[in-house]
Amino acid sequence: MTELATALQRWESDRRAARTRFDEAVNELDRRLAQSIRDGLSDPERWTGVVDASERRMGDQLRALDDAWAPLERAAMAAIEAAGEDTQQRRRLRYQLAEQQRRRDQLAVYMAREARSMLAARRSDAARVLHAHAHREWSTPRPCSRCGAGIVVGAVVQPTDFVCVACGHAAPFGPGPATVRYMESLDGLCDEQTLETWHAYQDARRTFEGYQWPTEADYEVLETAARTWLAEWADVRVRLLPPGGEAKELARLDERIAAELRGVDDAASRLLRVRMGVAMKLAAAGDMAGVLQFAKSEQVEASEFVGQLCTCLHEHGNRGAAWQALALLHHVTRQPTERDAWMQQQLMALDDQLRTR
């Protein structure tokens, strides 16, 4: 048995075992979190410790999947290198590796979704218990700092002045400890109630990151998904907050969206997306002279830019425009070989690249 065959067999076994271990871990942690809730959540540090340990355990499961994948990837890359000039064998090996990569990615997505769903469900259960504690606190009078008479403060999220009816003393009262714990627990409820839009955002992000040359239109789809999720998340949180916390929460929305997209929305990436989007529209309209003129106006090297455009058109499913762009690439690179045969070879290479990405 070859080294690759051995690695593949081991990966199949490890992948199934990783799924089994993950499901067992989720069930175990779910029971542990449920028991902590039944115990009353009287110790904040204990609950926080259980949640943190659960999140670490889920992260360990994903890292274990990466560790199991690494030997197969190394063996496959070594086999591809050993295939030398055997184009068919190299292609077959790349297809085989890509198929296993898809299986690995599918399992990773499953694990991430199940972990988030379980943790959100249990954290939201805890938030409901803590809401009951906070509600009791809101209905319990708090003593005046001067005379000790009870003052009904109710639900406050920030220091607010109250006047004692017994002695007339005015003093600020902030949120009590039960209210603070309830407010800190709201993320779980928000996560639970926005799982669908979070899934949609994750799908949009994987699609966007799958493009070698995304356009501004691709980014707008990603940004819309992020904004939809986070706006819904903020709306849920505002509805759950005691009165007075709405403005601060809504002010954080744009900050959270910017933070979520920070890695893909820098100035350089934006310039490349806009540039490629313009070129795609020109190519889709059959205006290859316009593509060259645009490349010149942008002061980019024509052959490199047209090559990037070919990849962009192809990965976005516009094979007809990609074929025309390949004809332009043949021209600007002054290929010595017959045009149609060269274009067919390049199109096959683009097909291979997309299939093995």
pLDDT digits (tens, 9 = 90+) for 142-173: 999 999 999 999 988 889 999 999 999 999 99
In this model, does residue 263 exceed pLDDT 90?
no
Q: If we measure between CA atoms, which residue out of 40, 35, 39, 79 comes closest to residue 54?
A: 35
Over its C-alpha atoms, the chain yields an Rg (Å, rounded) of: 29
pLDDT in tens, 11-69: 999 999 999 999 999 999 999 999 999 988 888 888 989 999 999 999 999 999 999 99
Question: How, if at all, do strands 150-151 and 142-143 pair?
Answer: antiparallel
Structure tokens at 305: 């830019």
State percent of the chain over pLDDT 90.
82
pTM of the full structure = 0.86
The pLDDT score that the predictor gives to residue 356 is 82
Q: How many Å apart are CA 214 and CA 189, to the nearest integer?
A: 34
Structure tokens at 157: 């999220």
In this model, does residue 249 exceed pLDDT 70?
no
237 versus 343: which is more confidently predicted?
A: 343
In this model, does residue 242 exceed pLDDT 80?
no
Q: How many Å apart are CA 112 and CA 102, to the nearest integer?
A: 15
pLDDT in tens, 309-322: 999 999 999 999 99
pLDDT in tens, 266-312: 888 999 999 999 999 999 999 999 999 999 999 999 999 999 999 99
Which residue do the tokens 């493009």 mark? 211
The pLDDT score that the predictor gives to residue 244 is 61
In this model, does residue 5 exceed pLDDT 90?
yes
Q: How many Å apart are CA 8 and CA 13, to the nearest integer?
A: 9
Q: If we measure between CA atoms, which residue out of 110, 48, 104, 49 comes closest to residue 72?
A: 104
pLDDT in tens, 324-351: 999 999 999 999 999 999 999 999 999 9
Q: Where are the alpha helices (DSSP H) in the chain?
A: 3-38, 44-82, 87-138, 177-184, 186-193, 195-210, 216-240, 246-251, 253-260, 267-284, 288-297, 302-315, 319-332, 339-355
In this model, does residue 259 exceed pLDDT 90?
no
The pLDDT score that the predictor gives to residue 110 is 96
